[in-house]
Chains A and B, each alone.
Chain A
């Protein structure tokens, strides 16, 4: 307790509090426009037009901001792997060491959960999910990730724009107006389509692995007429397979979406210092969500390939 009463500590704490309070009054950051669906920011083979919900793509293939975020995650992950494994040495150094250590640790976990026999089959999917989701989640933490984009006119709940550089570049200010930013990049996992895609791929692969391991016997898990009790359990199992997709999707989406909103709302309340602890929290949450997604995929896969006998569960 004594060390917190030193004059220097007190001065630093007061200065930080002063800066926080001052920034809340002087630096007025606009509230983010929270939009659930991904928005097209470019159009391949068509053109962007203003629709009822912001910009829309007329003809051609829409390129959404979450797709650009996905590409960002893809490129950074592939670059990491490429530069890490460009010329592999038997005695690893630097980045190669990191990449190898991560892959080796992941393989160790896969062996622990799925067993030595199944690990080589299930490892690539689980590891890719982990790496991709981790990198995608951590892009959320890059400052400015979702702060740059097109200015779009809206009917309500917008902010006023102010010229920043030249004639065509503006910034939003905290005065009620008619403009919102449509970001070019968006954290990939805050778009429901990505978690849903991952969940669908995982659950389809779970069914495939089950059929591959047990043949048609795998169906006995879902359709079983040997007793009314078993039939009911089979129905429940079928429902839970669908529920798994939903919980997979919304667990990842909900955590990261909430994290992103949190990281944007904190500067709206207090622009300086206050968001800092939440960045630390989001580093942790991003890692945990990637880990849980991969671990659940692994454990669903390894339970699917185990024969479902009448041993009572």
Chain B
């Protein structure tokens, strides 16, 4: 097996750990907020999606690296 394949898997796999935890924390906070006052659920949901998008950006950088390793190098 090529080392490139290993590098690709590690790049996306390791890089997804942090954002995974981050997205979970964002959802945790949002759900607690919704449980405390459900009347602003819509607003919280929109902001949660935005915050998840920012947390996800970190995973996207590792995706970029993985894609670069797999297809460019």
**Chain A residues with a Cβ under 8 A of chain B:** 36, 109, 112, 243, 246-247, 250-251, 254, 288, 291-292, 295-296, 299
Pick from B23-31, B32-40, B63-71 the stretch touching chain A. Answer: B63-71
13 extra interface residue pairs, beta carbon distance < 8 Å, beyond A109-B46, A247-B60, A295-B49: A36-B67, A36-B71, A112-B46, A246-B60, A246-B61, A247-B57, A251-B53, A251-B57, A292-B49, A292-B52, A295-B46, A295-B53, A296-B50
Interface hub of B52, B60, B61 (most chain A Cβ within 10 A): B60
Contact of B50 among A36, A243, A250, A295 (CB under 8 A): A295
Known: A247-B57, A251-B56, A251-B57. A288 touches B49 (CB 8 A): yes
**Chain B residues with a Cβ under 8 A of chain A:** 43, 46, 49-50, 52-53, 56-57, 60-61, 63-64, 67, 71
Q: How far is the CA of A288 from the CA of B52 in the complex (A)?
A: 11
Shortest CB distance B10–A (Å): 17
Give the secondary structure class of B's interface.
helix
Task: Specify the chain B residue showing the minimal Cβ separation from A192.
Answer: B67
Query: Across chains A and B, which 6 residue pairs bring their CB atoms closest together, nearest first?
Result: A247-B57, A250-B60, A254-B63, A292-B53, A36-B71, A251-B60
Chain B residues with CB under 8 Å of A251's CB are 53, 56-57, 60
Chain B residues with CB under 8 Å of A109's CB are 46
